[in-house]
């Protein structure tokens, strides 16, 4: 896959290669206070946040936050207060209703430059990668820079070679992100609650394994120009399937994302379930499903005949709590 394309996908294609995660999606309600000053009275400072081998210390809750990338924006929408989460960038038109509800302004669909970030009235940047800006120069201007640990492996693969990939499973890292970012943003109780909710729901899925005994394939189209693609269990989506008990027909492929799918292999293995990941380029489930059905021999497949084509939004496959929505959608459709 072309380097530029991979950068544009952000976490969508490369993120899952090493970390992979699934999470409970709980968006902040309109009841949240509109001022950062209403942060939990239980928040204790100073707080030291560690990511990728780096430490950043906060003496107080950040007043204005800028996010770069969809993953960081979702975490900010989960944990911050309205007014505190001020600006967004680098989402490449990926729909983000949680951040919309927070009133965070999109100042650029692509990544911002060092100068553009410094010109903003913010005191914290939460970012998916360091693509497009120099974190040291941003920090020298008095703006702190941090990254969710669930995104460190992708950032390292995307050029931030000095970062150290943290230990722990992807699911442990995402739980930790909720707790630790909650402390940074002055919302330790909120972060703890959301982490516990995620862990409980993951435990329930692990126990029930709604897809046990079924084979499956996840298919998606990166753009109208690209052919159908799939995933192995080295991807976030593949591990979602594994936790649901589904047997991914491409589980053991080395690459996390299969850019050139062997369509004959899909037809030959004829999985019980087809999961369509839609929306990366603005497409709907109905549009991508219709395109899938034009693939040679698709109409002969078991999943098509049995009506077991399940759609999940690309937005719900970033390594954040929103992944739980995708997992629940699949689980419900398997019942």
Q: Once rounded to an integer, what is the mean pLDDT over residues 3-9?
A: 40
Cα radius of gyration rounded to whole Å, the chain? 20
pLDDT of residue 112: 92
Could you tell me whether strands 257-258 and 228-231 are parallel, antiparallel, or unpaired per DSSP bridges? antiparallel
Same domain, 170 and 60: yes
Same domain, 181 and 213: no
pLDDT of residue 42: 59
* Assigned domain for 4 exists: no
Same domain, 201 and 215: no
The closest alpha carbon to 277, from 311, 325, 327, belongs to 311
State the alpha helices, DSSP H only, in 107-229.
114-118, 135-140, 152-157, 170-184, 188-208
Distances (CA, A) of 39 to 27, 141, 179, 311: 17, 25, 15, 37
* Assigned domain for 11 exists: no
Same domain, 52 and 196: yes
pLDDT digits (tens, 9 = 90+) for 66-78: 999 999 999 999 9
pLDDT digits (tens, 9 = 90+) for 272-324: 999 999 988 788 999 999 999 999 999 999 999 999 999 999 999 999 999 99
Same domain, 260 and 236: yes
Same domain, 52 and 197: yes
Same domain, 161 and 279: no
> Residue 235 is part of which domain span?
209-334
Last residue of a domain, one of 183, 206, 229: 206
Number of domains in the chain: 2
Same domain, 287 and 325: yes
Split at pLDDT 50, 70, 90, the class of 95 is: confident
Same domain, 184 and 224: no
Q: Across all residues in the chain, what is the average pLDDT?
A: 88
* Assigned domain for 26 exists: no
* pTM, entire model: 0.85
Q: How far apart are CA 241 and CA 221, in angstroms?
A: 18
CB atoms within 10 A of CB 86: 24
CATH code for position 129: 3.40.50.1980
Same domain, 269 and 199: no
Q: Helix, strand or coil for residue 79?
A: helix
Same domain, 116 and 244: no
Last residue of a domain, one of 174, 206, 238: 206
Residue 99 corresponds to which tokens in the numbers above?
């951040």
Last residue of a domain, one of 148, 172, 206: 206
Same domain, 62 and 111: yes
Tell me the range of 19-23, 129-133, 179-183, 316-320 where mean pLDDT is highest: 179-183
b/e burial code for range 20-50 (CB count within 10 A of at least 16 → b): bbbbbbbbbeeebeeebebbbeebeeebebe
């Amino acid at each position: 896959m072309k380097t530029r394309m991979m950068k544009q996908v952000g976490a969508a294609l490369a993120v899952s290669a090493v970390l992979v995660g699934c999470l409970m999606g709980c968006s902040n309600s309109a009841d949240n206070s509109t001022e950062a000053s209403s942060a939990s009275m239980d928040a204790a400072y100073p707080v030291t946040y560690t990511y990728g081998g780096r430490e950043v210390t906060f003496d107080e809750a950040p007043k204005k936050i800028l996010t770069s990338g969809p993953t960081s924006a979702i975490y900010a929408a989960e944990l911050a207060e309205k007014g505190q989460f001020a600006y967004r960038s680098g989402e490449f038109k990926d729909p983000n209703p949680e951040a919309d509800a927070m009133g965070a302004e999109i100042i650029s669909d692509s990544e911002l430059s060092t100068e553009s970030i410094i010109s903003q009235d913010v005191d914290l940047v939460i970012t998916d990668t360091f693509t497009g800006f120099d974190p040291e120069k941003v920090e020298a201007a008095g703006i702190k820079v941090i990254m969710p640990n669930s995104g460190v492996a992708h950032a390292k693969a995307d050029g931030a070679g000095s970062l150290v990939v943290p230990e722990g499973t992807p699911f442990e890292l995402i739980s930790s992100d909720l707790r630790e970012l909650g402390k940074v943003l002055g919302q330790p109780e909120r972060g703890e609650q959301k982490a516990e909710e995620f862990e409980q729901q993951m435990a329930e899925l692990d126990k029930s394994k709604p897809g046990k005994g079924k084979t499956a394939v996840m298919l998606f189209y990166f753009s109208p120009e690209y052919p159908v693609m799939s995933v192995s269990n080295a991807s976030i989506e593949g591990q979602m399937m594994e936790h649901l008990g589904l047997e991914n027909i491409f589980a053991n492929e080395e690459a996390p994302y299969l850019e050139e799918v062997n369509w004959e292999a899909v037809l030959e293995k004829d999985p019980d379930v087809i999961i369509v990941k839609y929306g990366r380029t603005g497409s709907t489930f109905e549009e991508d499903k219709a395109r899938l059905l034009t693939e040679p021999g698709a109409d002969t497949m078991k999943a098509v005949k049995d009506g077991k084509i399940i759609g999940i939004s690309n937005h719900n496959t970033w390594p954040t709590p929103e992944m739980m929505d995708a997992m629940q959608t699949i689980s419900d459709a398997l019942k």
